[in-house]
Structures are given as structure tokens and as C-alpha cells.
Amino acid sequence: MKYVLDRFADEIRSAINTTGRVPPDLIELAEPKANVPADLAFPCFRAAKASNMAPAQLAQQLASAIKISRDSLIGGVEAAGPFLNFTVNRRQLAQNVLAEVGQQGQHFGGDDLGQGQKVVVEYSSPNIARRMHVGHIRSTIIGQSLNNILSFLGYETISDNHLGDYGKQFGTLLAAIEKFGRPEGEGESILAKLEEIYSRYNRLLGSINADDFDADAAGADDTARAWSLKLEQNDPTARELWQWMVQATLQANQRNYDRLAVRFDTQHGESFYADMLPSVLGQVEEAGLAEREAGGALVVKGLPDRNGKELPTFLVQRSDGATLYLTRDIATIIYREQTYHPAKIVYAVDQRQELHFRQVFALTKALGYARDIELVHVPFGTIFGPNGEALSTRKGNMVYLEALLDDAVARAKSIIEQKLSEGKTDLTPEQVAEIAEQVGVGAVIYNDLYQDPKRNITLDWERMLSFEGNSAPYLQYTHARCRSILREAGTLPATCDAQLLEAEQELAVLKQLARFPEAVRRAGGNYAPYVIADWLYTTAREFARFYRDLSVLKAATPELRAARLQLVAATAQALANGLALLGIGAPERM
């Protein structure tokens, strides 16, 4: 899809090309630094070298050779040393941007580049019978945003919550329920109780490490093993209890998902693929990719990754015959290939799984599957406690998602109430509650999306719940200010003369709006929601300057007022679109 800045760049390339002085493959455009009074530049170094000329000389020649028609998007061209600088035609830009936002509304910024292609996005993936904690927040928030962005780019996305509902911890859980009784309650409290009896049972086994399942339960407890076996053999009692745990977990998590605007198309847990495992193992062995060791384990050695590097040895089957999650991940890819035929499968999963995914992807491809599927692991860093210490249930410093959201919302509420008492805003109690929810939750989401996901995060409550500067509330506030002006104005004029928007502040906002589509494409291409966050923040700042200097409602003429109102409406729309891609709400007032 071509937006106004795309056409602007096309026109420039074509104009340079028409001069016949630059080979087409050397026409590369770059965005000038902020201090340069130009919108797009052609650095002439390479082209000059090719034609044995000084760069500045070529720039000069090109500048005089290029002719600009009256209705062109190019407003001007000028040589600045070795750079050929182009400025956009302000009037054309204003008209085009306002028309694009006006016509496309909530679709402005979207694209059709993913048309006809499916993408499976796997994220969140919490464990059954456990509360969602900081470890799941990132996957959930980043994954949902990626899903939104890819969908906005025209891909048909299938969001999948790959629940941890399989594995040996369920034997222990069933044994724990048998011993301590089935917990009662509602929502997360029931999960908290399950965690409690689980770790109590683990302590019985002599394990204190209940947090990351590395307890070596071998030989420790026959009961847990027996339950594990029963579950695998579809024993009715075991199945019923397991089913109940799954349901209780889904129900509790759903509340968090609703608050975070997280939606799944499917929630197939690992157990969903259980039937496929024997076949996968058979294929691995048949293909000669793995060796059966004396103990019975099936081991893959020396498998090259996509760069030809040898991967460390890994197991696809334990010596006791059980499968591993790597095996299940392969089955999952095969299922997705056969069911959806996706162009990509995107995993929003912890950075520490990097090797795991290289192994999964390599073995899957080696088996002949997913040949046409781009398998993408989008890794993110770890969240540490305020002092940089690791968070764990064991240490008692774990941060749970629901509590975190509640904290943020409470904080937002008290700030709104303060504004109310200062007479700075006027809201009903219902509105206060609703806005506090959007603002508080938005702050938490934004804290996770405003930077490159690869970075680790050290929790800092002050910053996380900061409502100033580069934060979700600031963006929401800017949106609310726009809406406030539009409310005061009453009806929005149907048409306006966009050419009246000639002030620098207006132009800066218009340019920023025009950059949104490219920001969305870059966010999608790099699996980087922070690109959207960056764009939102810059847009809000530009709008704040406009807001400070130029009155909309008291504009000098009715025509100018109408044009500015359209600009405000477009800004509000674009901000709302960007926030939606991050999963953040845009309240009408604050």
C-alpha cells in the first residue's frame, strides 16, 4: 500500500532516474538529521564515485537537472554539499495526510503486504495450576502486540496460547491434591493454593526447588509417578482432576487477558499434540537423525543449524520413554503446518530458550517439514527484582500479574482523584474507575513495550508506574486532549482547506502522522513493538508543541479553525491506532 511519503520517495527516485546521471541501483534515499531542513535526501557519494565526479558536483548537477511539476509531492530540491536534499510539498502533504487518515480511520497505518498469508503467533503460554507472574507478562504483552501489528499489516494471524498442561509436574500435582485435598476458591486464589500444595508436596520429596521444576524427583515418590502414569493412560479420576485444573487456570487467566486486551484464536496446550509424538519419534529415528542409547534415550547429535553450525547434543526421548517438550514443539509445528499452512510461525518466548528453538527448528526442517515456513523466535530478556535479584516463588519476592495490574490501577485512580480535587478535570465515579483501569493497565503494558524486548528489565516501581514523560499515560493524555478539543468544537466540519496548515508546528504534526505507516511496517518487519511506541511518543510531543502555540477553537478564521480541527481529529485517530497496536486503550477524557 502506498501512503503519501511512499509516493514522495517514489517521485524522488523517479526524478533522479530521469536525469540519467545515476544508475538506478545507486539511488538510495536517507532521512536527514533533524537539524537539516529537508525531508528526504540522496547522499551522492557512491553515485559520484561511479561516474568519477566529486559528490558535491553531482549534487549540484542533479539539483539543476531535476524539474518539479506544480502538483508534485516534491516541494523543492537543493544541493547541500554532497547531499541532494528534497523537501515535501507542504500543501500536498497536508491534503494527502488528512485525506488518508480521514478515509481510513481506524485502518490508517495498516497495510496489505501480508495479504493472503497466515501467521501463527505463539505467546503467553503459562503453566496450568500456577498464577501468571512476571515471567509470563512479557510473553503475553509482546506477543499480543506482535499479533496486532502483523494483523494490521494484512496477515491473517492465528494467536495460540501454548499452555503448559503436560509434563511430569502433573503427577506431583495430582498426588498433592490426593494428599491435601482439592482447593476451593475462585480466580487466582485457587491457583495460589495449588501452588502451595504443590510445593508442600515437593518438600515432602526432599526438594526445595519447586519453582522451576528442576527437582529431581527420580525415585523419590511412587505416588506421584503412579498419578503421572494414570494421567497418561486416561484414568477417569486423573483426567477429571487435570481437566478441572486446566479450567480453573483458564478462568483465572481470562480475567488478566481481558484487562490486557489479549485474545487467542486457539489455546491448544502441549497435551493437544500427545497423539502425534510416537510418529514424530519414529520419523526422527527412521531419518537417522538420532541414535538410541543403551539406556533407551533417543539422542540427536551433531545436527547443523541453518548456518551450518553444529548444535549441541539434545534428547527427543528420555530413557524412561517419556517425551520432552522439544519433541512436543516439533509436533506442534507439524500440526500448524498441516492445519494452517502459515507463511510464518512467530514465538514470543524468553531469550533463554534461544538454543532450544534453534534445535527445534533445525530438527523440524531436517525432517522435511516447514520448508516454506519462516520460523521466528522473538526473544525477550529477563525481569529482575528491584535490587537486581532474580525473582522466584521460593524467595517470596515473586510479582504476580494480577497484583501488578491492581497496583497500577490503584495508583492511577489516586492521581485522577487528585486531579479532580484540583478541579482540573470533571468525571463521574464510573468514569474514574474506567479511566483508572485503562491508564494503570496501559502503564504496565507500555513499560514492557517501549524498549527493545531483548533487554533485561530491572523492576523499578517508580518508573514502571510513572505517568510522566515517555509513558502510556502521557500518550493517553495527549489523545484525551485532542478529544477534548473536538468535544468542545461540537461537530467536525465535513471538509476543510488543508493548505491553510502552514505553521511549522502544524507541519511537524502532519509529517509525524505521515510517518506512521512506515513505523508500523518497521515494527512488523523487526518484530519490534517499540518502534510504534517511539512513534507515539514523538507524535505526542509534536502535538504538545502545536497545542501550546496555536489555538484551535480560537483560530483567526473559521476556515483555519476547521483545518486545525481536522488536524486534531487526525492526530487523535492516529494516536488511538498506535495505542491499539500496543494493546493500550485511548480514553476520551482523563
Partner RNA sequence: GCGGGCGUAGCUCAGUUGGAUAGAGCAUCCGCCUUCUAAGCGGAAUGUCGUGGGUUCGAGUCCCGCCGCCCGCGCCA
Q: Is residue 382 a contact point for RNA (CB under 7 A)?
A: yes
Q: Which is nearer to RNA, 7 or 356 (CB)?
A: 356
Taking CB under 7 A as the criterion, the residue among 455, 461, 504, 556 binding RNA is 455
Q: Is residue 21 a contact point for RNA (CB under 7 A)?
A: no
**What CA–CA distance (Å, rounded) separates 182 from 193?**
9
**What CA–CA distance (Å, rounded) separates 235 from 249?**
21
Site for RNA in 320-349 (CB under 7 A): 320, 322, 324-325
Taking CB under 7 A as the criterion, the residue among 207, 481, 524, 572 binding RNA is 481
Q: Is residue 371 a contact point for RNA (CB under 7 A)?
A: no
Site for RNA in 172-211 (CB under 7 A): none
Choose one: 26-34, 133-141, 144-152, 400-408; the region binding RNA (CB under 7 A).
26-34
85 membership: H or E segment, kind and range: strand 83-88
C-alpha 44 chain-centroid distance: 37
Smallest gap from Cβ 445 to RNA, in A, equals 14
Smallest gap from Cβ 187 to RNA, in A, equals 23
- Site size with RNA, rule: CB under 7 A: 109
305 membership: H or E segment, kind and range: none
Site for RNA in 230-269 (CB under 7 A): none
C-alpha 345 chain-centroid distance: 14
Site for RNA in 83-102 (CB under 7 A): 83, 85
**What CA–CA distance (Å, rounded) separates 273 from 489?**
57
Choose one: 3-11, 112-120, 273-281, 472-480; the region binding RNA (CB under 7 A).
472-480
Q: CB within 8 A of 210, min separation 6: which ones?
A: 198, 199, 202, 203, 393, 394
**What CA–CA distance (Å, rounded) separates 225 from 169?**
10
The secondary structure of 3-22, three-state, reads CHHHHHHHHHHHHHHHHCCC
Taking CB under 7 A as the criterion, the residue among 180, 213, 244, 357 binding RNA is 213
Q: Is residue 312 a contact point for RNA (CB under 7 A)?
A: yes
Q: Is residue 167 a contact point for RNA (CB under 7 A)?
A: yes
Smallest gap from Cβ 147 to RNA, in A, equals 21
Taking CB under 7 A as the criterion, the residue among 470, 503, 508, 559 binding RNA is 470
The contacts found for 550-557 with CB under 8 angstroms, 24 or more apart, are: 550/503, 550/505, 550/506, 552/485, 552/489, 553/485, 553/488, 553/489
CB distance 404 to 447 below 8 Å: no
Q: For 469, which DSSP code?
A: S
Q: Which residues pair with 317 in a beta bridge?
A: 298, 323
**What CA–CA distance (Å, rounded) separates 512 from 536?**
9
Q: Which residues pair with 346 in a beta bridge?
A: 121, 376
Taking CB under 7 A as the criterion, the residue among 71, 214, 222, 430 binding RNA is 214
Site for RNA in 484-503 (CB under 7 A): 484-485, 488
**What CA–CA distance (Å, rounded) separates 132 from 126?**
6
The amino acid sitting at 9 is A
Smallest gap from Cβ 156 to RNA, in A, equals 26
Q: Is residue 319 a contact point for RNA (CB under 7 A)?
A: yes
Smallest gap from Cβ 396 to RNA, in A, equals 19
Site for RNA in 1-20 (CB under 7 A): none
Site for RNA in 406-435 (CB under 7 A): 412, 415-416, 419, 424-425, 435
Choose one: 30-38, 113-121, 185-193, 235-243; the region binding RNA (CB under 7 A).
30-38
Q: Residue 419's CB: how many other CB atoms inside 10 A?
A: 14
Q: Residue 433's CB: how many other CB atoms inside 10 A?
A: 13
Closest CA to 109 of 569, 538, 446, 577: 577
Q: Which is nearer to RNA, 156 or 432 (CB)?
A: 432
Taking CB under 7 A as the criterion, the residue among 179, 454, 499, 504 binding RNA is 454
**What CA–CA distance (Å, rounded) separates 508 from 458?**
35
Q: Is residue 357 a contact point for RNA (CB under 7 A)?
A: no
348 membership: H or E segment, kind and range: strand 344-350
Q: Which is nearer to RNA, 112 or 452 (CB)?
A: 452
Smallest gap from Cβ 167 to RNA, in A, equals 3
Smallest gap from Cβ 186 to RNA, in A, equals 26
User: For residue 503, what is its C-alpha cell?
Assistant: 505553521
Q: Which is nearer to RNA, 374 or 452 (CB)?
A: 452
Choose one: 101-109, 110-118, 315-323, 397-405; the region binding RNA (CB under 7 A).
315-323
Choose one: 9-17, 40-48, 132-140, 361-369; the region binding RNA (CB under 7 A).
40-48
Taking CB under 7 A as the criterion, the residue among 5, 58, 82, 151 binding RNA is 82
C-alpha 145 chain-centroid distance: 3
Choose one: 200-208, 251-259, 364-372, 458-466; the region binding RNA (CB under 7 A).
458-466
